[in-house]
Amino acid sequence: MKTVLKVLGIDPGYGRCGWGIIGIDGNHLQLLECGVIETPAGGHFPERLVHLHEQLHKIIGRHAPEEAAVEQLFFTKNVKTGIDVGQARGVIILTCSQKKIAVFEYKPVEVKMAVTGYGAAAKPQIQRMVQILLGLQAVPKPDDVADALAVAICHANCRARRKYC
């Protein structure tokens, strides 16, 4: 497949940050690479953010995506975790912006709707649709990777409907 556009999808986190690069050629999607950036639990928080930045910088360097899709923060009851994930999102958005990558943000419900057609879809439904839409042999693991790919697919579907969301 001739890749017309490369999109980096990101499921933000500071302990585990899922990422996936997909190629978009018209209505065809192709997985190029995916993985998880992990930072050491119990490590000094600023150092964890630096590690996230450095690893994301390497991924961007390997693939040179033109656009990035980042899931917006779904605020939970744990305020500390929400704030820390918000800081990780800031690092992610800054890293992409420094590399001149257009950043698009999507709410979890938008991702579910774009991937499954149902805004309240369960995680297994989303994972299975990611597998089907990318033509994969198995559901991407761990969950963070499947979530990141779902965000990238959401962006691809959004682009297909109109120039930019």
The model's pLDDT over 120-161, given as tens digits with 9 standing for 90+, comes to 999 999 999 999 999 999 999 999 999 999 999 999 999 867
pLDDT at 160 (0 to 100): 67
The residue with tokens 């805004």 is 119
pLDDT at 123 (0 to 100): 94
The residue with tokens 């910088």 is 57
% of the chain with per-residue pLDDT over 70:
93
pLDDT at 2 (0 to 100): 58
The model carries a pTM of: 0.93
User: Which residue out of 67, 110, 144, 147 is catalytically annotated?
Assistant: 144
Active site residue 144: yes
Residues counted in the chain: 165
What are the pLDDT tens digits along the chain (165 aa)?
455 899 999 999 999 999 999 999 988 999 999 999 999 998 999 999 999 999 999 999 999 999 999 999 876 667 778 889 999 999 999 999 999 999 999 999 999 999 999 999 999 999 999 999 999 999 999 999 999 999 999 999 998 675 544
pLDDT at 76 (0 to 100): 62
Three-class DSSP labels, 32-59:
EEEEEEECCCCCCHHHHHHHHHHHHHHH
User: Which residue out of 67, 71, 110, 147 is catalytically annotated?
Assistant: 71
Which residues, listed in sequence order, are joined to residue 65 by a DSSP beta bridge?
Answer: none
Q: List domains and CATH numbers for the chain.
A: 5-161 (3.30.420.10)
Query: Half-sphere exposure (CA, 13 Å, Cβ side) for 127?
Result: 13
